[in-house]
């Protein structure tokens, strides 16, 4: 840190005391500026990632959220240190914004002490972190939307934590998960067996067991003769990450087996497939406590899945109803092909249908559990639903989609009396694609199979590898075309290394379909006898046209490659966007506005902006109101329409306030004078307009003081040091420099943030400035519209040249973002300014 000599003694104790107080705050002020720099870097990096040009994962989000919280928390602490208790309210605002961030990360919140059970009628989606998303959405539909949802109760995530804590399971589970190689199936099986064995041997605490039995007796009393199902509802399940089909569900559970089945659901969190899903998504196990739902079982005549959008064709406005006879488990497990109804959302007319052949159906067994039975001949070719039932389901789907404001994947059932029940809703996984501009001719390809149904679009080349059970999975080679008659539990464990999936039974509405779209594995269903495809030569799977071709056709793979809107349909990207709502938008801009108060801080960026402004005021006014006779700053007297207040660290205040104006030719700080001379030499405004100047707002040609400059700029300076916080319209620049006789100590740091134009235009301005600073020798880093650059170890002459050039560049790029509508224009300005600065190719830097 820069050190300054003590000021001379003075006979003016009041003013010297004020100046000493400011100097004592300077170290804290510099620490605040450093934290401000870190916060702006994090926010800008998150905004940049949200533009869809960079890959990131959940660890990035977790780390970024932790970093921005740490930075802003420290900013608030320093602000209180600088300004006192009147800024304590910032801690309340920080806590409230942090709580909203927590609501966007329900699986990342620790579950505190809670009731062991909660009735569905008392639950809403805001309690997802208590009962899991599946239970929360059922409660939302039941209690908030008054939709037909079975009666039931949730066993909370706190119950799971209580069970694990009482039985001392947490550390033992964590150690085993830390040791597993989730890419090795045998290792997954071994670790899974160890963890599940620990859980299944552990007794359920008496208080929890009594709570479950009490809630069950009350539910059974209110629903005489009903049978019940136990369903997983882990934190995070059916939300950002589906965990579709990864956890256990028990249908038609007998009362005496409630606790046993509950414990098995807790253990199902650690099946090989669930561990693989957890670790392959970089999730933290302790964040995902297991909630469980006990709900009334519907004796279904028909059941299925309703998609409020087409999951593989988001441009379509049709709803899809997938239906099977009996219980819906046979559909989502991929054991039965469904009837499919396509319904126009505009008029609820059925515009297409497919009727499947029905051989078997899944029904409740009188002795508990379920059993498969043959479908009578007269029902095998008859649709599962009437047209009116299909339309009514579509109407309910639109109502639910409207409530959640996003496409939904809804499970439903219809009992033997024709009553519709809604069993589950979750965000629909959609694959966004664009049709390739150049169609490919496949007429010369040898067709091995055709007529398949697209489950996840795309194409792939590889060698066929048939599987029929989990015992076959350890041998699956990399980039294999995995073929199976029907989906089965465990396929998710090889998703990371296969090229495509081909099945005979199933379709888009299966758990496999949901998972395949998450992992973006080209998948087709409805292919006859896929196990008999040739294995010794490569094949090409076309999951868009539903065909398999002999041989390798990389040109087809290229043509069929979905042109994903890089992250638009990915949970992780939508999560980042949701988080940015509470992190990045800036609502507090002008300090002169009445609304520039801490109560209006709605984002981390708002707090950062407010603290930065108030820290400057505390630094320069020492907490004293503008106009007070004991102000400790000097006012820069200049023709430029900027108000710049300065504090000298090595100069006493003149006795008379009228003598505290300093001409820009008499600043007395070498780096400040060099920078300011560059700013003045460039002129204000520009004397001539370059080629693209017509795109600039008229303010550039206005010679009066601009309304956007109501906020002062500030500098802390000494003979050899400066730090200038410069407000230029709607963007901020900070220039810090130390210029001594020792070149090893000398440096210049430059920061730039924000602007008045859209984010893409602001980013283009940053690129222009970055390129010009790079030509001056700066090392720079930019994230979104935030730029940080530095240069050091310069002799005095070079320091003077570069500070002069930076001053000129500051004026040149003022409100430049307004003009940068394209990259071409940005490139033109880069070269135009380079010529004016003497930085064009072949020229020595000015």
Contact 371, 324 (CB under 8 A): no
Residue 350 tokens, joined: 């059925």
Longest dimension (CA), the chain: 109
Q: Report the candidate in 277, 268, 236, 248 with the shortest Cα–Cα distance to residue 132.
A: 236
φ, ψ for residue 322, nearest 5 deg: -105, 130
Range 300-415: architecture per CATH: 2-Layer Sandwich (3.30)
Give the SS3 label for residue 343. Answer: strand
Residue 112 tokens, joined: 């505190």
Domain 117-296, CATH class in plain words:
alpha beta
In the chain, what are the domain boundaries?
A: 7-84+586-688+706-836, 117-296, 300-415, 446-564
CA distance 147 to 16: 72
pLDDT at 518: 73
Q: Is the pTM of this model over 0.85?
A: no
Sign of CA dihedral 799, 803, 806, 808: negative
pLDDT at 129: 79
Report, as ranges of residue numbers, the positions in the chain whose pLDDT lies below 70: 1-24, 52-55, 103, 106-112, 236-246, 280-288, 432-438, 489, 562-571, 592, 619-632, 653-659, 685-711, 841-846
The model's pLDDT over 282-307, given as tens digits with 9 standing for 90+, comes to 666 665 678 999 999 999 999 999 99
Give the SS3 label for residue 342. Answer: strand
Residue 148 tokens, joined: 């037909």
Sign of CA dihedral 712, 713, 716, 719: negative
For residue 754, what is the DSSP state? Answer: E
The model's pLDDT over 139-185, given as tens digits with 9 standing for 90+, comes to 999 999 999 999 999 999 899 999 999 999 988 988 888 888 777 77
Range 446-564: architecture per CATH: 3-Layer(bba) Sandwich (3.50)
CA distances from 556 to 237, 559, 662 (A): 36, 5, 72
CA distance 234 to 237: 5
CA distance 79 to 611: 6
For the beta carbon of residue 282, count every other beta carbon within 10 angstroms.
13
Give the SS3 label for residue 339. Answer: strand
């Amino acid at each position: 840190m820069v050190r300054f000599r003590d000021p001379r003694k003075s006979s003016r104790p009041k003013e010297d005391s004020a100046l000493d107080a400011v100097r004592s705050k300077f170290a804290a002020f510099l620490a605040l500026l450093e934290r401000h720099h870190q916060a702006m870097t994090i926010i800008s990096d998150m905004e940049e990632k949200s533009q869809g040009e960079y890959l990131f994962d959940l660890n990035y989000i977790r780390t970024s959220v932790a970093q921005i919280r740490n930075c802003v928390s420290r900013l608030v602490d320093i602000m209180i240190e600088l300004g006192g208790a009147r800024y304590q309210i910032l801690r309340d605002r920080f806590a409230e914004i942090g709580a909203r961030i927590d609501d966007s990360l329900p699986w990342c919140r620790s579950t505190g002490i809670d009731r062991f059970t909660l009735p569905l009628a008392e639950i809403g989606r805001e309690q997802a972190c208590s009962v899991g998303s599946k239970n929360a959405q059922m409660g939302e539909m039941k209690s908030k939307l008054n939709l037909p949802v079975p009666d039931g109760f949730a066993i909370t995530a706190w119950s799971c934590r209580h069970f694990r804590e009482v039985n001392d399971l947490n550390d033992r589970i964590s150690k085993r998960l830390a040791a597993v190689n989730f890419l090795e199936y045998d290792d997954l099986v071994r670790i899974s067996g160890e963890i599940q064995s620990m859980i299944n041997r552990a007794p359920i605490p008496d208080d929890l067991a009594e709570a479950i039995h009490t809630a069950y007796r009350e539910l059974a009393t209110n629903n005489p003769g009903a049978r019940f199902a136990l369903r997983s509802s882990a934190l995070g399940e059916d939300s950002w990450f589906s965990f579709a089909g990864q956890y256990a569900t028990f249908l038609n559970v007998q009362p005496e087996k409630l606790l046993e089945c509950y414990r098995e659901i807790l253990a199902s969190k650690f099946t090989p497939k669930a561990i693989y899903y957890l670790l392959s998504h970089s999730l933290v196990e302790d964040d995902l406590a297991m909630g469980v739902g006990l709900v009334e079982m519907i004796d279904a005549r028909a059941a299925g899945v309703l998609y409020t959008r087409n999951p593989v064709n988001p441009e379509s406005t049709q709803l899809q109803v997938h239906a099977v006879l009996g219980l819906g488990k046979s559909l989502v497990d991929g054991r039965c092909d469904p009837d499919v109804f396509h319904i126009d959302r505009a008029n609820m007319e059925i515009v297409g249908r497919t009727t499947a052949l029905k051989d078997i159906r899944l029904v409740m067994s009188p002795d508990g559990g379920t059993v498969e039975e043959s479908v009578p001949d007269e029902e095998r070719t008859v649709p599962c639903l009437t047209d009116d039932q299909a339309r009514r389901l579509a109407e309910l789907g639109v109502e639910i989609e409207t409530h959640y404001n996003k496409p939904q994947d809804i499970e439903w059932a219809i009992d033997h009396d024709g009553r519709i029940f809604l069993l589950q809703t979750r965000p629909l996984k959609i694959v966004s694609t664009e049709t390739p501009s150049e169609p490919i001719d496949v007429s010369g390809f040898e067709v091995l199979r055709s007529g398949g149904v697209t489950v996840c679009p795309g194409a792939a080349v590889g060698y066929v590898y048939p599987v029929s059970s989990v015992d076959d999975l350890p041998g699956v080679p990399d980039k294999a075309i995995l073929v199976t008659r029907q989906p089965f539990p465990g396929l998710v464990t090889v998703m990371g290394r296969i090229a495509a999936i081909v099945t005979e039974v199933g379709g888009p509405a299966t758990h496999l379909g949901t998972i395949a779209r998450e992992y973006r594995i080209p998948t087709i269903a409805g292919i006859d006898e896929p196990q008999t495809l040739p294995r010794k030569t490569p094949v090409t799977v076309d999951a868009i046209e539903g065909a398999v071709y002999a041989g390798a056709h990389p040109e087809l793979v290229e043509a069929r490659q979905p042109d994903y809107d890089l992250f638009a349909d990915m949970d992780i990207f939508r999560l980042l966007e949701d988080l940015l709502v509470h992190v990045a938008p800036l609502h507090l801009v002008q300090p002169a506005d009445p609304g520039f108060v801490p109560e209006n801080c709605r984002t981390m960026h708002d707090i950062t902006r407010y603290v930065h402004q108030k820290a400057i005021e505390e630094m320069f006014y020492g907490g004293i109101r503008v106009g007070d006779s004991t102000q400790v700053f000097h006012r820069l007297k200049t023709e430029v329409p900027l108000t710049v207040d300065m504090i000298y660290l090595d100069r006493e205040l003149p006795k008379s306030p009228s003598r505290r104006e300093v001409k820009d030719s008499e600043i007395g700080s070498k780096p400040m004078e060099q920078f300011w001379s560059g700013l003045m030499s460039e002129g204000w405004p520009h004397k001539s307009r370059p080629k693209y100047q017509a795109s600039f707002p008229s303010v550039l040609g206005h010679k009066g003081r601009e309304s956007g400059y109501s906020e002062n700029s500030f500098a802390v300076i000494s003979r050899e040091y400066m730090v200038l916080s410069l407000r230029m319209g709607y963007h901020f620049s900070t220039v810090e420099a130390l210029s001594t006789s020792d070149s090893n100590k000398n440096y210049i740091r430059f920061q730039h943030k924000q602007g008045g134009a859209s984010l893409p235009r602001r980013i283009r301005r940053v690129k222009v400035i970055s390129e010009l600073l790079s030509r001056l020798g700066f090392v720079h880093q930019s994230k979104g519209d935030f730029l940080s650059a530095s240069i050091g170890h310069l002799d005095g002459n070079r320091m003077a040249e570069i500070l002069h050039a930076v001053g000129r560049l500051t004026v040149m790029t003022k409100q430049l973002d307004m003009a940068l509508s394209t990259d071409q224009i940005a490139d033109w300005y880069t070269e135009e300014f380079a010529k004016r600065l003497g930085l064009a190719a072949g020229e020595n830097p000015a």
